[in-house]
């Protein structure tokens, strides 16, 4: 779901409180994301500007993501030009998806200069461009040369030119009747598609909502509208125009029944009926931050941990192939009893067999019906040696089965471990957590250890990170591990034997501890802790997740087990909903 022009209009109005504020700091947590720390006399906030193709947008954020240790070049450039600069204006270009931020800053000589940032929200053509006051491009987060676009290049030193206008109708400048006249004389297409072609700032969702309201859910071509359809469409468009003039949006998120965000809009959404859930937010920025929180965290992890993801994917594939081969061998060993029986049958019929025979047909005394069986022989061996050959094949298959069962069990455990590391990686938030996972993989032999320094000292260990801390609605402290090493330490060393331990059943996830010092934990706290365990697991996207819980004394770590791998008995199971809103409300801010 892309951010559309009318949504950007309301966002722009929200951001007017930062006109006059100064830029305290500039950071670039991801390749195409910039965060401006703004501070005014009565207000302060973090403004995210994203020029990425996947989710271009602008909004305020509460929790800024961790920054890379070395800032990118574009970030350094913005710091040079914008640190200490004052925001003069924040404007949208018509109802197009282009935001212009104007700054007053001082150059290297101390003179006041005018600078602009243009955020173009245009799908895969999105960009973030810094220009001088006369329009000369200083640089862009994505440079566009002639090999990328012959129509419009964005390079340092060139003059910035706005993207070409699409000649659409703006509800800020024209009445709804102009829209009705335009679509009535246009192509014979569905009403929602006609609105998309002719109305500026409307996304597909808004166009579908307008068509749904006008036709009561009936599919109608734009040129076939009845008078009732036109009146209802005019009423809908008038409502949108009035909301734009007054600045009164209804920020609405559309969620799947599982709770996963699907779409968002600045208007009420009714087209899905009971198949989806809608939730309203107090303002547009809060909605966007919630909508993109998990998606952007995963994207940052993907950008910063591509090497780890490739390693884990290759390791998982290698283990899976080896397991498939071993299971095939084990299936072949299942017929080993027939080898022993053939040896017995040959031994019982030695007097019937001559050296040089290639087959022998004997009565199978292992068969209740007493049917005859044909046995292959090696003509180079004596009858007795043929019997011994079958006994040897039997012993080999028997020994192989025992070893294969052990190897398969080890492979399955290793596959579960790799899966658990992958799960922790997808939930990692920041370079510190990624480095802790890298250290775990080094200790487990999946990555090479870092070389010693020039002075011969060991490389520094990964920085320790605190557990995730939650406080239940009844006041109980709940701790949650971030990775396998933390899970081990939390469960084996940190937790009291009488504390409650929780983990998703047969699903990779974090260990969760309720600090209760032997108390009988109330049901509400148990349910909240189970929701935390479900949310911090691979089952996060499910509607219900089985979570096992027991006293810590019932959990033990087998000798030689990989990090995070434990066994437990005497447990109970609860079905938990990985409710993000509930989990975040219980989180203790550090």
The first and second tokens of residue 572, run together, are 């109970």
The pLDDT tens digits of the residues spanning 528-587 come to 999 999 999 999 888 899 999 999 999 999 988 889 999 998 899 999 999 888 998 999
pLDDT score at 580? 84
pLDDT score at 47? 95
Average the pLDDT over 59-87 and give the result.
89
Indicate left, alpha or beta for 130 from its phi (over 0: left) and psi (-120 to 50: alpha): beta
pLDDT score at 299? 66
User: Looking at the predicted structure, is the pLDDT value of residue 88 above 70?
Assistant: yes
Per cent of the chain over pLDDT 90 is 53
Whole-Å CA distances, 155 to 22, 129, 134, 140, 163: 27, 9, 15, 7, 15
Q: H or E element: which one contains 546?
A: strand 545-551
Residues 245 and 214 grouped into a single domain: yes
pLDDT score at 300? 65
Residues 319 and 289 grouped into a single domain: no
The two beta strands, 545-551 and 512-514, are unpaired
pLDDT score at 196? 93
- Residue 457 CB partners (closer than 8 Å, separation 6+): none
The pLDDT tens digits of the residues spanning 256-285 come to 876 778 899 999 999 998 899 899 999 999
Q: H or E element: which one contains 330?
A: helix 306-333
Average the pLDDT over 75-104 and give the result.
95
Domain endpoint, select from 122, 140, 158: 140
DSSP code per residue over 223-290? GG--HHHHHHHHHHHHHHHHHHHHT----EEEE-TTS-EEEEESS---TTTTSSEEEE-SSHHHHHHH
Average the pLDDT over 72-92 and give the result.
95
Vertex 583 angle, CA 577 and 586, to 5°: 135
Given a contact cutoff of 8 angstroms between Cβ atoms, the answer to whether 51 and 127 are in contact is yes
Closest CA to 36 of 90, 73, 82: 82
Indicate left, alpha or beta for 517 from its phi (over 0: left) and psi (-120 to 50: alpha): left
Residues 136 and 9 grouped into a single domain: yes
Among the residue ranges 221-235, 429-443, 510-524, the one predicted with the least confidence is: 429-443
Q: How far apart are CA 540 and CA 524, in angstroms?
A: 20
Residues 227 and 199 grouped into a single domain: yes
Residues 13 and 129 grouped into a single domain: yes
Q: How far apart are CA 63 and CA 25, in angstroms?
A: 15
Phi, psi of 287 (to 5 degrees): -60, -50
Helices assigned H by DSSP within 349-495: 383-426, 431-443, 484-488
Tell me the residue range of the domain where 579 lies. Answer: 468-586
Residues 21 and 130 grouped into a single domain: yes
pLDDT score at 135? 93
pLDDT score at 426? 81
User: Looking at the predicted structure, is the pLDDT value of residue 26 above 70?
Assistant: yes
CB atoms within 10 A of CB 16: 13
Closest CA to 57 of 77, 82, 30: 30
Tally of CA atoms within 13 A in the half-sphere of 323 that contains its CB: 15
Average the pLDDT over 418-437 and give the result.
83
**Would you say residue 483 lies in a domain?**
yes
Given a contact cutoff of 8 angstroms between Cβ atoms, the answer to whether 394 and 335 are in contact is no
The pLDDT tens digits of the residues spanning 224-255 come to 999 999 999 999 999 999 999 999 999 999 98
How high is the mean pLDDT of the chain?
A: 88
Name the more confident of 390 and 117: 117
SS3 572: strand
pLDDT confidence of 38, banded at 50, 70, 90? very high
**Would you say residue 199 lies in a domain?**
yes
pLDDT score at 270? 93
Average the pLDDT over 425-443 and give the result.
82
**Would you say residue 432 lies in a domain?**
no
User: Looking at the predicted structure, is the pLDDT value of residue 360 above 70?
Assistant: yes
Residues 265 and 182 grouped into a single domain: yes
Radius of gyration of the chain (CA): 34
pLDDT confidence of 456, banded at 50, 70, 90? low
User: Domain tally for the chain?
Assistant: 4
Q: How far apart are CA 486 and CA 420, in angstroms?
A: 13
**Would you say residue 160 lies in a domain?**
no
Average the pLDDT over 171-185 and give the result.
92
**Would you say residue 448 lies in a domain?**
no
The two beta strands, 261-265 and 277-280, are unpaired
Residues 276 and 341 grouped into a single domain: no
User: Looking at the predicted structure, is the pLDDT value of residue 318 above 70?
Assistant: yes
**Would you say residue 235 lies in a domain?**
yes
**Would you say residue 156 lies in a domain?**
no
**For the chain, first and last CA: distance in Å?**
33
CATH number at residue 59: 2.30.310.10
Q: How far apart are CA 98 and CA 417, in angstroms?
A: 46
Average the pLDDT over 175-179 and give the result.
93
**Would you say residue 566 lies in a domain?**
yes
Residues 124 and 59 grouped into a single domain: yes
Given a contact cutoff of 8 angstroms between Cβ atoms, the answer to whether 34 and 49 are in contact is yes
pLDDT confidence of 210, banded at 50, 70, 90? very high
Domain endpoint, select from 118, 140, 162: 140
Given a contact cutoff of 8 angstroms between Cβ atoms, the answer to whether 75 and 26 are in contact is yes
Average the pLDDT over 494-519 and give the result.
90
Residues 478 and 368 grouped into a single domain: no
Domain endpoint, select from 390, 424, 458: 424
Residues 51 and 28 grouped into a single domain: yes
Q: How far apart are CA 223 and CA 185, in angstroms?
A: 7
Residues 491 and 399 grouped into a single domain: no
- Looking at the DSSP bridge assignments, the partners of residue 526 are none
Helix-helix angle 227-246:176-184, to 10 degrees? 140
Per cent of the chain over pLDDT 70 is 95
Name the more confident of 334 and 103: 103
């Amino acid at each position: 779901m892309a951010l559309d022009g009318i949504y950007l209009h309301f966002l722009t109005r929200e951001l007017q409180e930062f006109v006059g504020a100064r830029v305290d700091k500039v950071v670039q947590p991801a390749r195409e994301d910039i965060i401006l720390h703004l501070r005014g006399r009565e207000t302060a906030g973090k403004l995210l500007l994203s020029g990425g193709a996947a989710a271009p947008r602008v909004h305020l954020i509460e929790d800024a993501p961790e920054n890379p240790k070395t800032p990118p070049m574009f970030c350094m450039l913005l710091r040079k030009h914008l640190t200490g600069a004052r925001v003069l204006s924040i404007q949208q270009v018509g109802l197009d998806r282009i935001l212009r931020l104007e700054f007053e800053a001082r150059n290297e000589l101390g003179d006041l200069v005018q600078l602009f940032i243009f955020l173009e929200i245009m799908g895969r053509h999105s960009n973030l461009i810094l220009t001088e006051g006369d329009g000369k491009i200083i640089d862009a987060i994505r440079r566009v040369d002639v090999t990328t676009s012959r129509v419009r290049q964005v390079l340092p030193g060139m003059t910035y030119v706005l993207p070409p206008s699409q000649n659409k109708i703006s509800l800020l400048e024209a009445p709804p009747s102009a829209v009705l006249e335009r679509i009535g004389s246009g192509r014979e297409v569905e009403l929602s598609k006609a609105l998309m072609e002719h109305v500026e700032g409307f996304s597909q969702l808004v166009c579908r909502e307008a068509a749904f309201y006008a036709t009561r859910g009936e599919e109608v071509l734009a040129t076939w509208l009845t008078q009732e359809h036109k009146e209802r469409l005019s009423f809908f468009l008038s409502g949108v125009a009035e909301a734009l003039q007054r600045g009164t949006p209804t920020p609405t998120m559309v969620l799947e029944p599982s709770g996963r965000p699907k779409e968002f809009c600045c208007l009420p959404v009714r087209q899905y009926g009971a198949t989806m859930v809608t939730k309203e937010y107090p303002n547009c920025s809060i909605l966007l931050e919630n909508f993109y929180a998990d998606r952007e965290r995963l994207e940052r992890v993907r950008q910063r941990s591509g090497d780890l993801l490739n390693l884990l994917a290759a390791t998982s594939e290698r283990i899976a192939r080896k397991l498939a081969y071993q299971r095939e061998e084990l299936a072949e060993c299942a017929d080993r009893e027939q080898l022993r029986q053939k040896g017995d049958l040959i031994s019982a019929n030695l007097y019937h067999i001559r050296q040089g025979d290639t087959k022998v047909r004997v009565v199978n005394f292992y068969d209740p019906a007493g049917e005859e069986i044909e046995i292959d022989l090696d003509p180079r061996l004596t009858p007795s040696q043929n019997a011994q050959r079958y006994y040897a094949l039997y012993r080999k298959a028997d020994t192989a089965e025992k070893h294969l069962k052990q190897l398969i069990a080890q492979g399955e455990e290793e596959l579960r471990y790799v899966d658990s590391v992958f799960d922790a990686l997808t939930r990692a938030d920041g370079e510190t957590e990624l480095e802790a996972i890298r250290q775990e993989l080094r200790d487990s032999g999946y990555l090479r250890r870092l070389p010693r320094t020039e002075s011969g000292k060991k490389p520094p260990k990964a920085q320790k990170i605190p557990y995730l801390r939650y406080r239940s609605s009844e006041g109980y402290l709940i701790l949650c591990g971030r990775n396998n090493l933390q899970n081990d330490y939390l469960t084996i060393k940190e937790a009291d034997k009488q504390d409650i331990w929780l983990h998703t059943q047969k699903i990779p996830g974090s260990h969760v501890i309720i600090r209760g010092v032997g108390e009988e934990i109330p049901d509400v706290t148990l349910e909240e802790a189970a929701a935390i365990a479900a949310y911090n697991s691979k089952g996060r996207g499910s509607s219900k997740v089985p979570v096992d819980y027991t006293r810590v004394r019932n959990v033990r770590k087998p000798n030689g087990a990989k990090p995070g791998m434990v066994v437990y008995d005497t447990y109970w199971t609860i079905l938990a909903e990985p409710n993000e809103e509930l989990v975040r409300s219980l989180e203790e801010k550090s």
